[in-house]
A and B are shown apart, each in its own frame.
Chain A
Amino acid sequence: MNLSLYVVNAFIVLDTDGHRVLAKYFSPKARTQLGEPDPNKGLQGLKEQRAFEKGLFAKTRKAGGDIILYDGHLAVYKHSLDLIFYMLGGPLENELMLHSALIAFMDAIHLLLRNQVEKRAVLENLDCVILCLDETIDDGVIVETDATTIASRVSRPRADTTEIVINEQTILNAYQTVKEKMQQRIGQF
């Protein structure tokens, strides 16, 4: 029975060939300090992690399973176009708790990537994806399960103010935007 808040042991994203797109294994120092065993024992090295991910992928490549107990890790996963997102927990973890964390992350990432959750979009918006993960899980502790809150807490990069060039084109763009918005507003009445 896991009496601590350390619920998530790893977060992994694999592509359809089983290659790692992103992986974060949580081995919180505080947990070992409390005398609990490291949940990712035997998964410290990159080689071991790769082997583990390969085996996990082989078991979960087909969509529709959602959950599996693999090699002593409870893994909930979600397919999204050409990616698979995994959330790993201890073997005795409450399946629904782990699942709620994954769902929160997935929903948030869908909001952030405007429902285009695929490999290309993830790589192009890596900053948002890793911040989103950080807002969902902090070193194994679930920070938030409300997807809209998570998504709203991820800041988006803005163009550098120094680089904004005001010329005919940008002014025209601004004018177009204003016009569209106004038309929408007026249309509402």
Chain B
Amino acid sequence: MQTPDPLREFDLNVTRRQLFGRSALGLGTAAMAQLFNDQSFGLDKTSPTSHGGLHHAPKAKRVIYLFMSGGPSHHDLWDYKPKMQEMFGQDLPDHIRDGQRVTGMTAGQKTHPVCPTKYKFTKHENNDEGLWVSELLPHTATVAKDLCVVHSTYTEAINHDPAITYIQTGSQIPGRPSLGSWLSYGLGTMNENLPGYVVMHAKTRFAEQSLFGRLWGSGFMPSEHQGTLMRSQGDPVLFLSNPKGVSSKDRRAQLDALALLNQEQYSKFADPEILSRIKQHEMAYRMQSSVPELMDLSEEDDKTFDLYGEEARDPGSFASCCLNARRLAQRGVRNIQIFHRGWDAHGNLPREHESQCKDIDRGSAALIKDLKRLGMLEDTLVVWGGEFGRTAYCQGGLKRDNYGRDHHPRCFSVWMAGGGIKSGITYGKTDDYGYNIAHPDGTPMRPKPSKEKWTPGTMHIHDLNATILHLLGIDHRKLTYRYQGRDFRLTDIHGHVIKDILA
């Protein structure tokens, strides 16, 4: 904050450069900023401490984000378009495509034949007019009453790298902090023995896109806000285990000596950072028991495995990641992401999506049911979705039972459940081709993200992120981080909280 007032300048620098750096376990950042009356966070001055340092009372204490990397097909999972069946193979009408830029992969394709799904959709009772779900997601269908399925999510990016980077960092170009690190920055952590922001990579048979460190990286924020990978191979947390031949008792003795050496350095230099480092060594020691305890499923009852399936015993499976997510949530970890790759079905969509859905269906549903039975769903936000949808037209050869679909940014389906979200509803509508977001009467519309105006019935990815932050008690316009002279936000200058879907 460049003000000529040294008091403020100093406060802010203390706030940013030191306190954040020195308080990995401290209050949430917003709370600290509040302490220093930092306007860049736009704090609610009328009620200084009523929301635990957040901008407003949170509806959710934590978020579990199930990210389907590659772009799941809304046509084959969520967005029921019976009229497309009659249009099989016909060219997509021009007024529907309406100048949409397409990727280099289908730009040269002479025709764009309508490609109806081969899967059967069934209507499931929810708290509204019912939810159509494809037969690929039988388990998820059973929690229809808990889901809010948004059919009108949209983005501008048309390729994976920019689109994933966009939805996870708010910018298509690398360099920004990820959603998770914004949350880490805003929320702090509630558990002193586990990392505050945990990322898992679930196994897939179709690892067809890359993931990037930037998706859970901290960009220009300090690295303490980067996601901690919870791995299924080797140590669950990097370098967690003592070397062979070193017992926990040995390590205790080492750390005691280390603390004394550091104390001695402190007496020489009086840099408080040295003391803070002693604390971090102690936290590491505690993590060495809290993480194995977390990963130890022996205390879980049969009911758990009835829900998640035996697959949950297989480390790295999506089901096991979901179970871990629940266990992390129980232990106070507020910020959990599971990345599942392989949704990029340009060809052979049925074969690939069947396998993908099998990976994630039961685990996703189990997570909802499990959180519910533990009374945690009401304050846990669960989000499921990818970076874009897939085209209504076929990429490559079209058959009734085999086809492929290209990337599609104009509409895709995302669901949310739990803390603060209306349960059992659908939101937003697409046209008869699942190609454009549509007005209630079905006519296509072309919303654009705008700072001033939000188009009712739509959810741009910035809106999605604004809504996630909102539910956690954070005003996306006020959670800022100064870098390069600018107060950066996750939602850039955009984003509107979708109030229609809030409980």
Whether chain B is bound by chain A comes out as no
Interface residues of B (CB under 8 A from A): none
Interfacial residues, chain A to chain B (CB-CB below 8 A): none
